[in-house]
Structure 1
């Protein structure tokens, strides 16, 4: 079949462009995958996010699995360290040695004194996963610094051959890059998993902070909270409890927007304004969980009231809030003066 012949020729052409050591890495990965299949362990994790880490001129493919593990492939590490060191037959034999399962990128015998069983059975324990239709042999992304350290220790001990020094140099470049940004963060950014991770964390916060069902109304805001607002604003305290609409905006700004990120947005979604009136049917605090959300609201109100008491006017109170809540205190309600 012409299409099949063209595809096969393309595969041959790509294979011919690979160095002997890169072909060795692919063969080693296939051998490990076959070894796993022989054990009957076919329930493999799957790559859900894929990307490429960039450190200087180095490009390292990476992935995040459906169990949340961040991985880099054996072939990828072999390639970024530099695939031209000769002795490819020896590397291939070492990497496929029964029981050893030494990665190709650490197969040179001169590295053996620097590789402990603890590292082999820990960070360098292979992770076999499925990437679409392919089985891939990878390693935990956090193993990469350990790999680089082995090469650098060997260089420091003058144990490397001249043609292996280039790999040690690439290992040093990688280590410098990783010193500035953690490998897990790099993988998350490269694969796009960061946004999903943030959503997962937000969901965890919301599930703890918000109630599954709306709670019955109960008085949560002490009268003093509102009286202090009026005092600091130099407004006359209403005799019949008809507070100015500005109080609602202020409450959102200094209370609900200071709760964990994402809570305010979810409250607005669960308790939208009614068409025509612009008012909300319920109070936001009725949607906070009794075990976490409500106590946190109460503690926050007590802190606010304490700051109000020591403030002679509204601008001073604003400054106190910025000092007390620096992480979220910069985006304030400074335009609410009437």
Structure 2
């Protein structure tokens, strides 16, 4: 076959392809050329069709030809509770000083040297299907979690970072639990016969347990009404709540749930030397009794708040309807 014939045949086949298919073929060809010119590492294992599942979040992960384990950039960010894309739809990648933006906040920098080892630089590689992908080292995920948890323990978090710290807490607990299972499997040889998705399923189980523990129990309306009655701006400019809100919550809620409950919660969930607790009190309430009782009490309390015009009026109604456990009931005296 002559070159002209080959060219004509190729053009005829190309004409039959859809525009999307032609773009896909062109992209793969360009990626292949770039890999040869730029020396991009290639993934030998991994696929978007079989991601690691963390709760209901799919984490696309790969093992590169040089042995590095990587998580795709989008998966990494979503796992941390951040948007998969930065504003404008662009990826996050790495800043000039090789620190990813999710670690570049000034309040986190003092903790990075202690909690992060190895590279934090984004990695560009070819996935198993030949697509160019940006990712981060897999070991950076638990290390990043530890940075946010250390910042939380030291009271360094900005209010916009609290949700990331909560997600980090969930991830660290779950990954630690699955990590010991993987080590046992390797030591006993069970890894050779277990189902390939067994660890992922175990991780999913732990994640669901942790998510349940972190489930939001206090509706925003509770705080909105409290701020209204105290004549405070809601939300505050910083997003943080005044320190006295914790004392109000203890008085309005926990003191009135059951006798001795505050003392027991403070025993199992004590403050550290910095005055912070490792968890929220409601996380120690039981699912079958404690949480339903909390929800019922909050529903009634919010109703009293809405019916009140002042803080004193609300407290008077609260004391009548839900006296503190152990208090003597007030009697009406003419």
Tell me which interval the TM-score lies in, with the shorter structure as reference length: 0.3 to 0.5
Q: Which has the higher contact order (CA 8 A, sep 6+)?
A: 1
Structure 2 length normalisation: TM-score?
0.38
Structure 1 length normalisation: TM-score?
0.38
Q: Indicate the structure (1 or 2) with the bigger Cα radius of gyration.
A: 1
